[in-house]
Structure 1
Amino acid sequence: MLIDWFTVIAQVLNFLILVWLLKRFLYKPILNAIDEREKRVAAELADADAKEAEAQKEKEEFKQKNEEFDQQRAALLSRAKDEAKSERQRLLEEARKEASDLRAKQQEALRNDKQNLNRAISRRAQQEVFAIARKALQDLAGTDLEERTVDMFAKKLRELEGKEKEQLVSVLALASSPVLVRTAFDLPQAQRELIKKTIKETLGIEVQVCFETVPDLVSGIELTANGQKVAWSIAGYLSSLEEGIDELLQEQPRSEARTEPVLKQGETESKSEPKATARPESTSDVSEPEQKAEPEQESESEQESESEQESEPGQKAETKIVNPAPEPE
């Protein structure tokens, strides 16, 4: 069998041309299309993965934000509750304090009104008692009582000692006008001579004495010389007692003001103690006015004792030397 090499070569050449043509116009576009599709699919898958990752990230962020929002909401609610509770407590404390201050002011006003009323009643009673006493002494005064007053005055002159006696002697020695003796009633001659004799014997000097009747004197006698006066009268007792009571009434608000902070401190200490049951609370409320009443009773008893002590020196100071303005001759 003969081999046609031209035909073989031509077939090989045709085959190569066919292969090149298939590769150039068939396989290459198909491969390019497949590559492009693979690339597009890969890109789409990558895009889908990216979007999924982004969605997952957004989901996590949203979840975290929800948790933070829940925490913030819980914190805000807790803070609002705490603020509302503290504000409620503050308002209650303010209301309680205002009520306590108002009650304290009312009690202070009532206490002041009571004190003012008591002082007014005391002063009015004092004025009425002393007015009645003076009126009674004026009505009961007479010649016999006046003679007894002169005897008592002479006795007091004899009992003068020390500085009072020296002062009276110097005043009488330097007197340029007669010594003036005043009484509520006209003295008989014997009583006048008794006064002159007592002045001469007691003071050791002889002076001219003039007598004058003054109805305003209540069972008393006055000796005036050179602007100075020696007096003894029942009215002096009343005036001394009246001055003592006035001083006592003036000192009473000061003593109450000093004792009031002590009482308030005791009240606050008793209120700050824990109370086990409701019954001790009512007992303390009831006993508190009693505790307030006891210091008032003690202060009243002290005032009575002070008034008695002040009235006794007033009774002892029967003879006094005062320095009024000199009377015109």
Structure 2
Amino acid sequence: MRIDWSTLLLQTINALVLIWLLARFLFRPVAGIIAERQKAAQALIADADAAKHAAVLERDAAVHETQRLVAARADAMKTIAAEAENEKAALLAAAHADSDRLRATATAEIEAARAEQGKLVAARATQLAIDIATKLLDRLPEDARVSGFIGGLVDGIAQLPAQVRTELGANGVALSLCAPRTLSQQEQESCRAALTTCLNRPVSLQIEVDPSLIAGLELTAAHAVVRNSFKADLARISAALLSSDNAPR
């Protein structure tokens, strides 16, 4: 086999030229395109990684926010439950207080009504007793309605302060003497004599008649009143009975 070196050389040169041409006009542009595509791919990958990282951050933030909202909701529910419980307790306390107040008011009203009814019953009973006593005392003989009370009237005058006794009937001023009926002349003289002896000076009397006295005498002056009559006694008894019935037990 014979090798044609010239042909081989020419073929070699052609191959080198072809390689140079391919490298010049094909490989470099293709390599540039590939490099640009790689850069674009890397940029896309970087963008994807950044987007993924941002998405992860957003997801984490969303999870954190969700957890915060859940915790806030739980706290709010606890607060609402506590407030509701406090409101319930306050309403129950207010209801109990109102109930106790109404019960106390009702009890007080019942007690007041009972006390008032007791007063009315006592007053009626006392008045009935006074009426009965008045009717019984009204049966006294006429002569016993005055003469037996002169001494008691004098005793009442004697118990007055000295200054008051000094002013009774002084300077000729007539003393008002009230009797249950018209006094006889002898009864008038007996009264005048008893008062003169008691006051150590002559006195003049102005006789008045008041049948409600039933029996007894009452002396009225400017600064003193002396009562010795069944009317005054019954009034004192009535007041004592009513006071005793109304006293706390």
Secondary structure at the aligned position of 1:72 is classed as helix
Alignment of 1:53-68 (within 5 A): 53-68=53-68
Contact residue 179 and residue 209 of structure 2 kept, 8 A: yes
- Distance in 1 between the 2:206 and 2:87 partners? 88
Q: Which amino acid aligns with 2:143?
A: T
Q: Check 1:25–1:234 CA distance in 2 against 1; reply closer, same or farther (3 A cut).
A: same
Alignment of 1:33-52 (within 5 A): 33-52=33-52
Aligned to 1:71: 71
Alignment of 1:4-43 (within 5 A): 17-43=17-43
Q: Check 1:223–1:40 CA distance in 2 against 1; reply closer, same or farther (3 A cut).
A: closer
Instruction: Pick the aligned partner of 1:240 from 213, 236, 244.
Output: 236
**Aligned pair 1:109/2:139, yes or no?**
no
Aligned to 2:90: 90
**Aligned pair 1:174/2:208, yes or no?**
no
**Aligned pair 1:299/2:248, yes or no?**
yes
Q: Which amino acid aligns with 1:73?
A: R
Alpha-carbon deviation of 1:65? 2.1
Aligned to 2:125: 125
Contact residue 137 and residue 218 of structure 1 kept, 8 A: yes
Moved more, 144-153 or 181-190: 181-190
Structure ID, larger Rg: 2
Q: Which amino acid aligns with 2:54?
A: E
Alpha-carbon deviation of 1:99? 1.0
- Distance in 1 between the 2:79 and 2:161 partners? 89
Cα deviation 1:64-118 (Å, max 9, x = unaligned) = 1221122122112212211221121121112111111211211121122122212
Contact residue 185 and residue 214 of structure 1 kept, 8 A: yes
Q: Check 1:35–1:198 CA distance in 2 against 1; reply closer, same or farther (3 A cut).
A: closer
Aligned to 1:195: 191
Q: State the superposition RMSD in angstroms.
A: 3.7
Cα deviation 1:232-281 (Å, max 9, x = unaligned) = 222222223445566x48xx6xxxxxxxxxxxxxxxxxxxxxxxxxxxxx
In the superposition, the TM-score normalised over structure 2's length comes to: 0.76
- Distance in 2 between the 1:123 and 1:11 partners? 158
Secondary structure at the aligned position of 1:68 is classed as helix
**Aligned pair 1:221/2:170, yes or no?**
no
- Distance in 1 between the 2:111 and 2:101 partners? 15
Contact residue 150 and residue 191 of structure 1 kept, 8 A: no
Secondary structure at the aligned position of 1:299 is classed as coil
Aligned to 2:3: none
Alpha-carbon deviation of 1:35? 1.4
Q: What is the percent sequence identity of the aligned residues?
A: 25
Q: Which runs of 5+ in 1 are unaligned?
A: 1-5, 253-297, 301-329
Q: Which runs of 5+ in 2 are unaligned?
A: 1-5
Between the two proteins, the alignment pairs up a number of residues equal to 244
Contact residue 154 and residue 198 of structure 1 kept, 8 A: yes
- Distance in 1 between the 2:42 and 2:206 partners? 151
Q: Check 1:88–1:111 CA distance in 2 against 1; reply closer, same or farther (3 A cut).
A: same
- Distance in 2 between the 1:161 and 1:46 partners? 127
- Distance in 1 between the 2:107 and 2:189 partners? 65
Alpha-carbon deviation of 1:162? 2.0
Q: Which amino acid aligns with 1:299?
A: P
- Distance in 2 between the 1:36 and 1:144 partners? 153
Cα deviation 1:6-31 (Å, max 9, x = unaligned) = 99998887566434312222221331
- Flag the structure with more relative contact order, 1 or 2, with Cα contacts below 8 A and sequence separation at least 6: 2
Secondary structure at the aligned position of 2:211 is classed as coil
- Distance in 1 between the 2:169 and 2:189 partners? 19
Q: Check 1:190–1:29 CA distance in 2 against 1; reply closer, same or farther (3 A cut).
A: closer
In the superposition, the TM-score normalised over structure 1's length comes to: 0.60
Cα deviation 1:28-69 (Å, max 9, x = unaligned) = 133123213322332232233223212222221222122112
Q: Check 1:18–1:209 CA distance in 2 against 1; reply closer, same or farther (3 A cut).
A: closer
- Distance in 1 between the 2:100 and 2:217 partners? 60
